[in-house]
Structure 1
Amino acid sequence: MDDTLADLFAVIEERKETLPDDSYTASLFTHEKGENAVLEKLGEETTELVLAAKDDDRDEIAYEAADIVYHLLVLLSMKGMDLDDLRAELESRR
C-alpha cells in the first residue's frame, strides 16, 4: 500500500510541475479549480463515504475512501507537504 501511495503522490507532484492540459490533477493546481475545489471534494467524498458505510456497501466504501486519499494527497502537495509529513504525524501518535 505504501508503494501505491508513494507512486500516486509522485504522479501528483509531476502533474503539479508539468500542468498537462488534459489532467484533472493539474487542473486542481491552477486557478481553474484550485484549493477550494480540493477542499469541497474532500467534504463531498467524506459525506459519500459516511453514507456508504451506513449502507454497509464495501465496494462503495473502498471507492469513496480512495477518492478521499487522492484529494488528501493533492492537498498535502498544495501545502508543500509530502508523505513523510503524514508518516511523521502518524508515528507520533503511536
Structure 2
Amino acid sequence: MDTDTPPEEVFDELFATIEERKETLPADSYTASLFTHEKGKNAVLEKLGEETTEAILAAKDDDRDELLAESADLVYHLLVLLAMEEATLEDLQVELRNRF
C-alpha cells in the first residue's frame, strides 16, 4: 500500500490490496495466508475476536495510541472477512449509508 495515499482513499486501497492477495495468493503475504489457512474463516474470526478485545482494553486504559493501532488491526481483519464472504467495500458503504 502506498504511504502517499490520501487518508480518504485508504480503505479503498486496502480493500483492493486484500482482493488482489485473495486472487494471486503470494507465498510471502500475511493476507494471502488468511485465505489459505487450514482453519479458513475460523482463523479470521479468531483474529477479529482478539483484535476486538485488544481495542476494548486499550479504550478502557485510555491508551489512544494503542486504541488506534488495535482498531486498525480490527478493521483490516473485518475487511478480510468481507472479502472471504464475497462482500465488497461498496456493499458495506451502502449498508452504512442506508442507516442514516
Say whether the fold is shared (TM-score over 0.5): yes
Matched, 1:47 2:70: no
Which residue does 2:70 correspond to in 1?
Answer: 64
For normalisation by structure 2, the TM-score amounts to 0.90
Distance 2:12 2:61 in 1: 31
Q: Which runs of 5+ in 2 are unaligned?
A: 1-6
Identical positions, percent: 70
Q: Root-mean-square deviation (CA), in Å?
A: 1.0
Runs of 4+ in 1 over 2 A off after TM superposition: none
Which residue does 1:79 correspond to in 2?
Answer: 85
Q: SS of 2:46's equivalent?
A: helix
With CA pairs under 8 Å and 6+ residues apart, which has the higher RCO, 1 or 2?
1
Distance 2:41 2:8 in 1: 25
Q: SS of 1:13's equivalent?
A: helix
Distance 1:66 1:33 in 2: 23
Matched, 1:19 2:19: no
For 1:76, the aligned partner's letter is L
- The superposition leaves residues 34-87 of structure 1 with CA deviations (integer Å, 9 ceiling, x where unpaired) of 211100000000000000000000000000000000000000000001111101
2:21/2:31 contact within 8 Å kept: yes
Distance 2:80 2:54 in 1: 19
2:37/2:43 contact within 8 Å kept: no
Change (3 A) 1:36 1:69: same
Q: SS of 1:80's equivalent?
A: coil
Which residue does 2:98 correspond to in 1?
Answer: 92
